[in-house]
């Protein structure tokens, strides 16, 4: 299991995460910020627990402001 943390309030609207991982990220029509699909808001960020998703790590790597974190849960 993995936990993905997305600090949405720091998003710069570049769309890189949605481009490399559309299974998890989409660009909001309303405010044009990236959104982590199925996530829940927690501590000023959005979190999602999921099975291994290789593109999540790629989204973390391509984010220019480093607001996506992928953590392996024990």
Under DSSP, is residue 26 helix (H, G, I), strand (E, B) or coil? strand
pLDDT at 5: 97
Name the domain count of the chain: 1
The domain in which residue 31 lies consists of: 2-72
CATH of the domain at 7: 3.30.70.20
Q: Which two tokens stand for residue 45?
A: 């960020």
Q: Checking phi first, is residue 44 left (phi over 0); if not, alpha (psi -120 to 50) or beta?
A: left
Q: What is the pLDDT of residue 53?
A: 81
Residues of the chain with pLDDT under 50: none
Report pLDDT for 73.
Answer: 83
pLDDT at 69: 97
Q: What is the pTM of this model?
A: 0.93
């Amino acid at each position: 299991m993995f936990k993905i943390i997305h600090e949405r309030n720091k998003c710069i609207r570049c769309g890189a995460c949605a481009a490399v991982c559309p299974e998890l990220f989409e660009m909001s029509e309303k405010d044009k910020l990236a959104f982590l699909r199925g996530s829940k808001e927690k501590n000023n960020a959005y979190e999602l627990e999921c099975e291994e998703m290789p593109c999540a790590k790629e989204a973390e790597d391509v984010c220019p402001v480093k607001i996506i974190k992928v953590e392996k849960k024990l």
